[in-house]
Chain A
């Protein structure tokens, strides 16, 4: 089916992640299959207790204390995940040409955390701007998370972040695929990251919008497609992979998690915040065409749904139009476990599902106690994992504000 020459085929060879319910692929997958949520109560500045997906990875595994202090949380997330991915890839890191490595990371936003911290700090000094930190600019430049990775790993090839709202995780992968196909780099470190729980502004804005989830039990707060959903649980985290051209991976006998066979990005051009199911469907169709397959070939759809009223309904409309009532298809949602990891969401949701190529199991969508009729899809995997026998194609949706859509299709490598 895939007509691309081998040197244009891109495969995933290493995975590093931190999620609210796991700091490695195996721990994360185990908790997803066990139905274990990572959402907890969390105190944020000015607002007090909110609900959030909080990560507890060891920052000092790959950074000195001074590096943590000088950099950003997104930088620490990126550094941790990148080191883990490189280690997992079994690349001979000392001997590879670092000028041929690129770092391309998706972010929803960056700089809010650091700016809020500085404003709080000067507020303690009668707003004397002379105590505004000289670290502010290097912390808030938009490339900061990717730049901290290059500093830590000695990478001298290109690095930048891709600002793509909550479609960013997929966008990081897509940019890496393109750079490998253009032969701009020989190895790409790609994915998405989020430090968003450290800015009160994101919680406050969702609250003002009527889109911030509340629940007396934090683990039940993130409930996409459920009738009683009441908004988003903000999460932090990172999902980062090493990706390579197929011949390079084969030449070094690398472990191959999957092949990125299709991708697409498009724009709604219709609203600042409300999504558009027609454009979402077109985005999925474009990714399918690029993969040279049809919707009938997809075994598992990893949805974007964030548990907002309209957002979930729009995605369901797009999925219904594309997949109808077709059987032998699983549709699930990782946010029900970890909340919305913003820039990391697309990457973490793909990585939460990627081991289904090995075990044939679609993880559940938890907290789906009373499905909203407007969100009904016969294929949704509700509350318990589903054994699909074999999964060969995953379609991963990520959509964001200002009407940005991204789709990734990953194929089992055989």
Chain B
């Protein structure tokens, strides 16, 4: 997957775990939690969905990389580079 495809994967996950949010105006440089109602349990859902869908184990010390869309995509790119896009 390339960066654009990984971004779409994250958007799909956010739509499921925060179904009341409008994600069309999401600013990729701003922390998710400053733009939407996302608490620690929701955040764990992102980690869980990546684990279920792509068998990626994200260690707790790496959670800090999942703060903004940009940092998340940067973190996931090497992990998902050999994975086919779901679309």
Name A's B-contacting residues (CB within 8 A).
64-66, 69-70, 125, 130-131, 133-135, 138
Contact = CB atoms under 8 A, between A and B. Distances in A.
B48 A66 contact: no
B52 A125 contact: yes
Contacts, number: 25
Given A66-B37, A70-B41, A131 B19 contact: no
B62 interface: no
25 contacts: A64-B20, A65-B19, A65-B20, A66-B17, A66-B18, A66-B19, A66-B20, A66-B37, A66-B42, A69-B17, A69-B19, A70-B41, A125-B52, A130-B51, A130-B57, A131-B48, A131-B51, A131-B52, A133-B48, A134-B41, A134-B44, A134-B45, A134-B48, A135-B41, A138-B41
4 A-B pairs with the lowest CB-CB distances in the bound complex, closest first? A65-B19, A64-B20, A134-B44, A65-B20
A135 B43 CA distance: 12
Nearest to A134: B44
A134 B44 CA distance: 8
- What DSSP secondary structure best describes chain B's contact surface? helix
Interface bracket on B:
10 to 19
Nearest to B38: A66
Which of B20, B44, B57 has most chain A Cβ within 10 Å? B20
A69 B41 CA distance: 12
Contacts of B37: 66
Contacts of B48: 131, 133-134
Interface string B14-57: 00011110000000000000000100011011001001100001
Interface in B33-87: 37, 41-42, 44-45, 48, 51-52, 57
